[in-house]
A = this chain, B = another copy of it.
Amino acid sequence: MSPLPGYNVLREQDRSHMLDKIGVDSIDHLLDFIPTDLRLQNPLDLPDPMSEWQLTRHLKELAAQNENTDSHVCFLGGSVYDHHVPEVVNYIASRGEFLTAYTPYQPEISQGLLRVLSDFQLVVGRLFDIPVVNCSVYDGATALAESAWMAISASSIHRLIVSDNIWPEHLAVLQVYMANRKVEIELIGHDAHSGKIDQADLDIALQQPAAAVIAQSPNCFGIVEDLKEVIHNAHQHEALAVIGCYPTSLGIIEAPGTHGADIVYAEGQSLGLSLAAGGPTMGMIGTRESLTDYLPGRLVGETKDIKGESALALIKQEREQHVRRDKATSHICSNQALMALRSLVYLSLMGENGLRRVATLSAQKAHHLCAELERIPGISRSYQGPFFNEFCLDLTVNTATLLDKLRQQGFHAGINCSANNKDAQQRILIAVTETQSLATLDHFATAFAQTIDQIS
């Protein structure tokens, strides 16, 4: 037998001893109950095993082929942002005890992890201004889909009113999740000037009963919505308000819960998660107490041990698939616990003032850049509503060409949203975080202007 790569620990003598104990003479015989014609005859078609140093070299080679935020200045956003991740977050999340634990089914030896998940719930509750938060779902898109299903289950109405300016990928996932469960999705439009939800459209849609109105702020153009109005409107028509948000922005922008949202969902990547080509990120869901029983996923709460001492444990498992099976609120089992840990550590490090500063700096820098770019002839803001750290520009040049030329100069300049956009032909979405320096922003604005000049 060839040397094993470090984690197969049964030696030949161990295997013999174990076979003896079992009472068979070979592994082959041990597996007698598997019909021969099902047994694989040839070795798997896989490359030769690699030593740790070969593997390391191979992965480094693959990694080195990818442009990244070290090689290119990143102005890409669209639900996932290049915010700074404090090293403490990486450090804590790499501690083996956290990394190699499973879901805390055995609370007696998982109090540390349970405390983390419980505090995550509490801290996110404050951020969203909503009392009940679960331990995470897969990502922002599935958080939306799960939130929508909560509203449908609670209302028994199979109709959703959805703003057309939520993230396109979120909408796509929502559609997939709902289609097979016979849920009607009615899209409402946005105001071509402000970029915000078209309230008239919403009014019309609300004439029919709906489980929920779904909106997102800042929306997919980066514009802060008038949530209060939207939520009020929904409630007037007995629809729940399901609101998507960008957690970082909540450092300065009123929480959806404060405006009365019934369900708040978010993509949590901006809270101390690396970009990681988009995954794993984290879906977050919070809600009112009365909707708790509709929540998907894990919930942690306080209980007592047999001595009467307070202890933490998973609670309300009767909602979950391992108990309720096909009647469960969701199928989710593995979730994003480690990401919840990361964001808890992140939010603990930032705190009241830190998150406010991150949000403010991001906004300041975005607005500075936007102002600089708006000065370039042929460039205009797509929408006039107030934006947080992300904004759409309409261009007179070919977006793809522009992005490509800027990429050659070391910039991932923005997301090309020319294709699936009905308001304008050439459009770019630019996001700025706290990590870009004034010099970089100004350098980029200059490069942008020059490149436009070259290609127009």
Q: Which residues of B contact A87 (CB under 8 A)?
A: 52
The chain B residue with its CB closest to the CB of A435 is B53
Question: Are A53 and B84 in contact (CB-based, < 8 A)?
Answer: yes
Q: When A and B form their complex, which 8 residue pairs have the shortest distance between CB atoms, in order from nearest?
A: A53-B84, A53-B435, A52-B86, A60-B70, A52-B84, A52-B87, A54-B437, A53-B434
Indicate with 1 or 0, residue by residue over A37-80, a CB within 8 angstroms of chain B CB atoms.
00000000000000111101100100000000010000000000
Q: Closest approach, in angstroms, between the C-beta of A182 and any C-beta of chain B? A: 48
Q: Name the interface size band of chain A.
A: 20 to 34
Q: Which residues of B contact A23 (CB under 8 A)?
A: none
Q: Check: A422 CB closer than 8 A to any chain B CB.
A: no
Q: Which residues of B contact A349 (CB under 8 A)?
A: 6
Q: Which residues of B contact A91 (CB under 8 A)?
A: 94, 96
Q: Closest approach, in angstroms, between the C-beta of A7 and any C-beta of chain B? A: 11
A-B contact pairs, 11 of them (CB 8 A): A3-B353, A3-B357, A6-B349, A51-B84, A52-B86, A52-B87, A53-B84, A53-B435, A54-B437, A57-B435, A94-B94
Q: Check: A95 CB closer than 8 A to any chain B CB.
A: yes
Q: Closest approach, in angstroms, between the C-beta of A241 and any C-beta of chain B? A: 36
Q: Which residues of B contact A357 (CB under 8 A)?
A: 3
Q: Which residues of B contact A94 (CB under 8 A)?
A: 91, 94
Of the listed residues A51, A54, A94, A96, the one surrounded by the most CB atoms of chain B closer than 10 A to its CB is A51
Q: Which residues of B contact A84 (CB under 8 A)?
A: 51-53, 56
Q: Which residues of B contact A435 (CB under 8 A)?
A: 53, 57
Which residues in window 295-350 of A have CB below 8 A to B?
A: 349
The complex places the Cα of A94 from the Cα of B52 at a distance, in Å, of 19
Q: Which residues of B contact A6 (CB under 8 A)?
A: 349
Q: Closest approach, in angstroms, between the C-beta of A353 and any C-beta of chain B? A: 8
The complex places the Cα of A76 from the Cα of B65 at a distance, in Å, of 27
The complex places the Cα of A176 from the Cα of B3 at a distance, in Å, of 47
The complex places the Cα of A437 from the Cα of B95 at a distance, in Å, of 33
The complex places the Cα of A52 from the Cα of B353 at a distance, in Å, of 16
Indicate with 1 or 0, residue by residue over A434-445, a CB within 8 angstroms of chain B CB atoms.
110100000000
The complex places the Cα of A441 from the Cα of B52 at a distance, in Å, of 19
Q: Which residues of B contact A57 (CB under 8 A)?
A: 435
The chain B residue with its CB closest to the CB of A433 is B53
Indicate with 1 or 0, residue by residue over A84-100, a CB within 8 angstroms of chain B CB atoms.
10110001001110000
The complex places the Cα of A362 from the Cα of B3 at a distance, in Å, of 17
Q: Closest approach, in angstroms, between the C-beta of A165 and any C-beta of chain B? A: 30
The complex places the Cα of A15 from the Cα of B52 at a distance, in Å, of 52
Q: Closest approach, in angstroms, between the C-beta of A62 and any C-beta of chain B? A: 13
Q: Which residues of B contact A86 (CB under 8 A)?
A: 52
Q: Which residues of B contact A54 (CB under 8 A)?
A: 437
Q: Which residues of B contact A60 (CB under 8 A)?
A: 70
Of the listed residues A51, A53, A86, the one surrounded by the most CB atoms of chain B closer than 10 A to its CB is A53
